[in-house]
């Protein structure tokens, strides 16, 4: 299959309106295309649809998206290089946060572009079949972006109209109105998208159904969530990979477990890191940076220098002790998700190349065992304090899912790794949670055990089985952590289940210091608040300044 490698081009001309009610954006019009030709020719409209996909790459595989969706939960605390501790640990989180400002700007630009496309699609001279598919894609994407917006900020600005000039007012629309449109758009997408697309990365019927299952569960529509998840599980050829670790191989990105992904180009120049001509804001998105963010500081330890295999450590996020304790010894997802061993790449007086140089474990290692080894050991009490807070935010078991040993050089900050947005495993977890909510605990356990069987080390399947009586909401959240850690879902999971504050207080002492009830919403960016003229109507979210 071809891959959909997306660029913003002439469509900058369509984005000069509400993108954040800031100053008017500079227009950019390469190739002489105009709004008229974009809207009235099939070729121009294809450019519009392609551009609508591109905004996903501001979130998926990006530091802003990881900080908003993964940190600030029970699973992650700040590494020594954390750029947004206000999001990770609620450390004076306010409206000036740069990650939130970037995402607000980009996702509203996406909404404006999509609204323009949907409102003008009848003029694009598309065949009836192509038109229904392209409308389905745009509706899928509008639902996708609006979900991120409404869950992050609550009932903020909502519109189905594009803007073509300076807009100085914004509305506050109820959350229910957002979701009504999300469901309408996704239901259209399900009816009109094909089961497969020639270009990898485009929305499909099962992707829309999978996202719809997530939305049904989010809004407590359990039977519909169950039915939709079962449809995706049973009616297509998606398959769980036999080995969890194989999901993360760079050579295996387009595998049968992935329902929807944001794809990145192996030609890194096409990921728009610094090509301002392709973005109306004067800077690019770049490629996947997840490989940098979860790594511990290894390259100043004996026997180790920075190399391609071990990655370039930005040391942004460290796993909580709670997250690592969730895995039992029979669960292969621990080794499939986390790196514990580093092997010498520089000889020392005691180490040859290839010898173990560093071992990090969440378990406690007896002092006499540590003393008997030629390599460094960082154990439980080295990394964590007795209360579970971080003690050494440079040395920890690191999430290895997103590492990329195929990069051209050891300092290369870009990666062609795709970002998996929806995997088949999530459908089993949605089905399990919906069954539990419907009081069908035996069925819920069956869905969970499919994943736990896949995760079991050979011969230890029985240890991994969960009984119906063990299925609770907390157990499912634990299981989602084991399966989906780092995949940009955790904050949303805790918010929709009402467990965000409870579980941070119980399991993440670093984040519990500052977490408050109002943190279930994020502050609206200050640039937006400052730019509107109807300040009495469009006000900041509660308790933020």
Under the banding of pLDDT at 50, 70 and 90, the label for residue 278 is very low
Residue 529, SS3 per DSSP: helix
Under the banding of pLDDT at 50, 70 and 90, the label for residue 1 is very low
CATH T-level fold of 2-289+524-531 = 1.25.40
- Arithmetic mean of pLDDT over the chain: 91
314 φψ region: left (φ > 0), alpha (ψ -120 to 50), beta (else): alpha
Q: How far apart are CA 14 and CA 117, in angstroms?
A: 10
Under the banding of pLDDT at 50, 70 and 90, the label for residue 13 is very low
Helix (H) or strand (E) segment spanning residue 210: helix 205-218
Residue 304 buriedness (CB in 10 A; 0-12 / 13-18 / 19+): buried
Tokens 């065949």 correspond to what residue? Answer: 127
Show contacts of 265-274: CB within 8 Å, 24+ apart.
265/3, 265/5, 265/416, 266/416, 267/5, 268/414, 268/416, 270/5, 270/7, 271/57, 271/414, 271/416, 272/7, 272/8, 272/54, 273/414
Q: How far apart are CA 233 and CA 228, in angstroms?
A: 9
Q: Average pLDDT of 257-267? A: 91
DSSP state letters, 359-382: EE-SS---HHHHHT-SSEEE-HHH
Query: How many C-beta neighbours within 10 Å does residue 96 have?
Result: 14
Tokens 């970037």 correspond to what residue? Answer: 102
Among 107, 109, 112, 106, which residue's Cα sits nearest to residue 159? 112
pLDDT number for residue 22: 33
What residue ranges do the domains of the chain occupy?
2-289+524-531, 290-399
Summarize pLDDT for 480-496 with one digit per residue, the tens: 999 999 999 999 999 99
Alpha helices of 251-346 — where are they, by DSSP H? 290-293, 321-325, 333-337
Q: How far apart are CA 46 and CA 29, in angstroms?
A: 16
């Amino acid at each position: 299959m071809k891959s959909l490698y997306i660029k913003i081009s002439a469509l900058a001309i369509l984005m000069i309106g509400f993108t954040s009610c800031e100053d008017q954006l500079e227009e950019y019009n390469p190739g002489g295309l105009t709004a008229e030709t974009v809207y009235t020719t099939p070729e121009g409209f294809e450019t519009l649809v392609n551009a609508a996909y591109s905004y996903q790459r501001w979130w998926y595989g990006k530091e802003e998206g990881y900080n908003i969706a993964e940190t600030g939960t029970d699973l992650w605390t700040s590494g020594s290089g954390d750029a947004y501790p206000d999001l990770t640990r609620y450390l004076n989180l306010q409206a000036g946060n740069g990650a939130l400002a970037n995402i607000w700007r980009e996702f509203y630009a996406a909404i404006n572009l999509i609204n323009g496309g949907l409102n003008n699609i009848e003029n694009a001279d598309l065949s009836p079949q192509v038109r229904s598919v392209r409308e389905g894609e745009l509706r899928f994407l509008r639902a996708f972006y609006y979900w991120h917006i409404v869950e992050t900020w609550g009932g903020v600005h909502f519109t189905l109209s594009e803007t073509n000039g300076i807009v100085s007012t914004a509305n506050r629309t109820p959350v229910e109105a957002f979701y009504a449109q999300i469901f309408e758009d996704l239901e259209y997408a399900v009816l009109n998208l094909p089961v497969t697309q020639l270009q990898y990365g485009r929305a499909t019927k099962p992707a829309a159904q999978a996202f719809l299952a997530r939305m049904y569960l989010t809004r407590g529509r359990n039977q519909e969530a169950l039915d939709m998840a079962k449809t995706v599980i049973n009616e297509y050829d998606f398959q769980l990979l036999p080995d969890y670790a194989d999901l993360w191989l760079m050579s295996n990105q387009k595998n049968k477990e992935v329902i929807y992904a944001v794809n990145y180009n192996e030609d890194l120049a096409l990921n728009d890191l610094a090509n301002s001509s392709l973005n109306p804001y004067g800077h690019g998105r770049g490629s996947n940076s997840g490989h940098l963010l979860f790594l511990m500081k290894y390259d100043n330890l004996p026997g180790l220098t920075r190399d391609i295999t071990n990655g370039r450590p930005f040391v942004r996020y460290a796993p909580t002790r709670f997250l690592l304790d969730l895995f039992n010894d029979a669960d292969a997802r621990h080794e499939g998700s986390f790196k514990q061993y580093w092997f010498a790449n520089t000889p020392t007086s005691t180490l040859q190349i290839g010898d173990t140089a560093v071992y990090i474990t969440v378990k406690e290692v007896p002092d006499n065992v540590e003393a008997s080894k030629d390599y460094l050991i960082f154990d439980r009490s080295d990394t964590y304090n007795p209360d579970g807070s971080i003690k050494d935010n440079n040395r920890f078991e690191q999430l290895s899912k997103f590492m990329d040993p195929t990069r051209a050089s050891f300092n290369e900050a870009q990666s062609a790794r795709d970002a998996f947005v929806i995997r088949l495993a999530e459908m089993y977890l949605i089905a399990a949670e919906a069954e539990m909510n419907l009081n069908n605990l035996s069925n819920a356990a069956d869905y969970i055990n499919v994943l736990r069987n896949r995760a079991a080390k050979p011969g230890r399947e029985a240890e991994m089985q969960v009984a119906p009586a063990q299925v609770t909401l907390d157990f499912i959240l634990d299981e989602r952590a084991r399966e989906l850690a780092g995949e940009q879902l955790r904050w949303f999971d805790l918010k929709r289940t009402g467990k965000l504050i409870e579980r941070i207080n119980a399991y993440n002492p670093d984040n519990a210091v500052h977490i408050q009830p109002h943190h279930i919403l994020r502050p609206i960016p200050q640039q937006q608040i400052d730019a509107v003229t109807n300040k009495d109507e469009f006000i900041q979210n509660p308790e933020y300044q």
